[in-house]
Amino acid sequence: MCGCSPYIWYGMVWYGMVWYGMVWYGMVWYGMVWYGMVWYGMRAMAL
């Protein structure tokens, strides 16, 4: 067994967490933009 193996596994887990966080952040940001567009559209129709 190689001594660096746990570090590679730890790096993979950390990379996966960062990627998951980026995807989640993108989804939240996209949801906020979509919500803003809907709110703006409703406001425009009200006026």
Amino acid at 38: V
* Domain with 21 in it: 1-46
| Assessment of whether the complete model's pTM goes beyond 0.75 | no
Own/partner long-range contacts of 6-11 (Cβ < 8 Å, ≥24 apart)? none
Question: How far apart are alpha carbons 5 and 18 in whole angstroms?
Answer: 20
| pLDDT, position 29 | 97
Split into its structural domains, the chain has a count of 1
Residue 1 above 60 pLDDT? no
In the prediction, which pLDDT does 28 show? 98
- Tokens 């939240």 correspond to 28
Burial 21-47 (b: 16+ CB within 10 A, else e): eeeeeeeeeeeeeeeeeeeeeeeeeee
